[in-house]
Amino acid sequence: MDIKIETTVESKLGTLDWKKSPDTHINLKNSGADSPCATSCKDKPCTTVCPAKVYEWEASHRKVIVNYENCIECGACRMLCPWDNITCDWPGGGMGVKYKYG
């Protein structure tokens, strides 16, 4: 008997709980048309390295969309932006991700 284990990002995020903050804790320093995301960043590492798909490139508007609600607070975004365009602070007291397993 084969057991199929679902390994999508959405299924993995389903194993976590969040106490959502009313405010975002992740921002782009410059998100406009002249941002480094739109003008200089060819590889868009934030859209591929983030394990929770917090960052999405919206080609039609030439900007990065930040889905901060998915953040698992791993800190990868603090290190991966080659243009230092991402600010990430920990959510306020008691807010943020709550790990169910560990």
Residue 96, sorted as left (phi over 0), alpha (psi -120 to 50) or beta, turns out to be left
Residue 101 lies in a domain: no
Whether 99 is in a domain gets the answer no
Tens-digit pLDDT profile for residues 6-31: 677 777 777 777 777 777 889 999 99
- Amino acid identity for residue 94 in this structure: G
Q: What is the pLDDT of residues 22-75, one digit of tens each?
A: 778 899 999 988 999 999 999 999 999 998 899 999 999 999 999 988 888 888
Alpha-carbon distance 44 to 94, whole Å?
Answer: 31
Report yes or no on 44 lying in a domain: yes
Q: Under DSSP, is residue 99 helix (H, G, I), strand (E, B) or coil?
A: strand
| Residue 28: CATH number of its domain | 3.30.70.20
Indicate whether 37 belongs to any domain: yes
Position 96 in a domain = no
Q: Residue 26 to residues 13, 21, 77, 88: CA-CA distances in angstroms?
A: 18, 11, 9, 4
Domain count, the chain: 1
Does 31 fall in a domain?
yes
Q: Is the pTM of this model over 0.85?
A: no
